[in-house]
Amino acid sequence: MHTDFTKQYINGSWVTGSSKKTIENTNPYNRESLGVIVSANQDDLDLAYQSANDYQKTWDAHSPGEKQYYLRRLYEVMQHNKDTIIHWLIQESGSSKLKAETEFNTASNIVFESASFPNRIHGSTAPSNTPGKENYTYRSAKGVIGMIGPWNFPFHLAMRSIAPAIATGNTVVVKPASDTPVTSGFLIAALFEEAGFPAGVLHVTAGRGSEIGDAFVTHPVPALLSFTGSTEVGTHIAELAAKHLKETALELGGNNAMVVLPDADVKKAAKAAVFGSYLHQGQICLALNRVIIHEDIYDEFVKEFTNVAKTIKSGNPEDEEVMVGPIINQEQVDNIHQLVQGTVDAGATLQTEFEINGNVIPPIVLSDVTNDMPAAKNEVFGPVSTLIKVSSEEEAIRTANDSPYGLSGSVFTQDRYHGMQVARQLNSGMVHVNDQSVNDEAHLPFGGEKQSGIGRFNGEWILEEFTTVQWVSVQAEDRPFPL
């Protein structure tokens, strides 16, 4: 497999970027250099898009069996290179071994599921009110998909768009995240290359947002832009796309809540909440930001949650016992510090030590929090959990819904059917009863409400995003016209 991840991947070739600017790829834990990439500029981007556009019809003309062959090869190549993929996730994104393994498995499931898509693109027939007319609908690829990669689950969240897009007959141009250019772009290109995909199917152009960011969206070639990341950036992408009448698939921020009802098993709920709050340092759009607990069990829950949180080891992600590794960069560290300090200043109680060791922040537990305090009101994207007391189920539901976000959520109760009833009242795209909020299955709809995004990923729902429908009618009998 190709291993020089300092070059762009355009039309099947590894080429040096044409920009005068560079991207320094660094390890977020020890800040050692992982390589220097000469950035792509708009000329490189244009070549990638034009190459993808030139080849798209040819790729789409491959039979379903041929597309499946390539995707199955990709799955096999991923399994063969598992150790390399996990190594890069640890080095580049600060993933713990647990998180990297989870990410690899989830990405593998996406590719496995995508291999079924070429045979699932169905059309239909329908009757007509016009005598002698036959109606047909055909579903086909949209064309070229532009995919902007994220840095938190870079390999999986990039593959979540790339594999289904290609399976449905599209070609793809990727702009990887600047903090994780390898795992959200170049490593995937190398895997596609080893799997034997034709040169025009996938292209990766890494460049600074100031140089190619807007152009990536406004370029005339892509029919749809797929983005996973912050609501702020997603809103900007949506605005640019709308001006050019381009479609978007956006999976954005979250401020996810777990509702703990008074009959819940406190130990089980606390353990689940800790996992959902601190996996990958809380740098997950699905992570629990708020835990909303009924007052009858609040004190007991705070004690249990804090005790479990204190058992989590933080530090070097290469240590297999570490669950909480480094924050991705200094800007994120500073933002987390500001939100935590602002919440403590507003009256919250700090149940743990508030330490910052380089880019590593051990788990932080804040109790006596209200929904309007900074760490509860905003998406923290760090190892911080806010514990909120409520006096009734109705108040818990109102508090959970009192957010501009609506991505994922959780309800804990010993009455599972009642838990489902509560889940249906949460204004969230996904809710998990007696589980935490971090769940993703390749065959089930993934996406949010409100400012958490537009559209749904995975399974039959991504088929809707990445294909278009054409109505073709055939007049089998002469139609009389009143002329």
Strands (E), 371-407: 384-390, 405-406
Residue pLDDT, tens place only, 328-382: 999 999 999 999 999 999 999 999 999 999 999 999 999 999 999 999 999 999 9
Determine whether 251 is an active site residue. Answer: yes
> What span, in angstroms and rounded, lies between the C-alpha atoms of 357 and 248?
39
Query: Has this prediction a pTM greater than 0.85?
Result: yes
Give the confidence band of 208 by pLDDT, cuts at 50, 70, 90.
confident
pLDDT at 113 over 90: yes
Residue pLDDT, tens place only, 66-91: 999 999 999 999 999 999 999 999 99
Amino acid at site 281: Q
pLDDT at 49 over 90: yes
Q: Which domains does the chain have, with CATH numbers?
A: 8-252+452-471 (3.40.605.10), 256-433 (3.40.309.10)
Q: What was the pLDDT predicted at 25?
A: 97
Section 54-68 average pLDDT: 98
Buried b or exposed e, range 209-219, using 16+ CB within 10 angstroms? eebbbebbbeb
pLDDT at 209 over 90: no
**Active-site choice (251, 379, 393, 465):** 251
pLDDT at 192 over 90: yes
Q: What was the pLDDT predicted at 164?
A: 98
Section 128-156 average pLDDT: 97
Q: Two tokens at 327?
A: 């924050």
Residue with token string 């992982």: 34
- Between CA 14 and CA 180, with CA 250 as vertex, the angle to 5 degrees is 35
Strands (E), 181-316: 202-204, 224-228, 247-251, 256-260, 288-294
Residue pLDDT, tens place only, 384-423: 999 999 999 999 999 999 999 999 999 999 999 999 999 9
Q: What was the pLDDT predicted at 210?
A: 85
Contacts of 135 (CB under 8 A, 6+ apart): 125, 126, 127, 128, 471, 472, 473
CA atoms within 13 A on the CB side of 147: 34
> What span, in angstroms and rounded, lies between the C-alpha atoms of 257 and 377?
11
Q: What is the percent of the chain with per-residue pLDDT over 90, rounded to a whole number?
A: 99
At residue 91, φ and ψ (nearest 5 deg) are: -70, -40
- Between CA 24 and CA 368, with CA 331 as vertex, the angle to 5 degrees is 150
Residue pLDDT, tens place only, 443-456: 999 999 999 999 99
Residue pLDDT, tens place only, 216-254: 999 999 999 999 999 999 999 999 999 999 999 999 999
Q: What is the percent of the chain with per-residue pLDDT over 70, rounded to a whole number?
A: 100
pLDDT at 44 over 90: yes
| Cβ-contact 185, 23 below 8 angstroms | no
271: left (phi over 0), alpha (psi -120 to 50) or beta: alpha
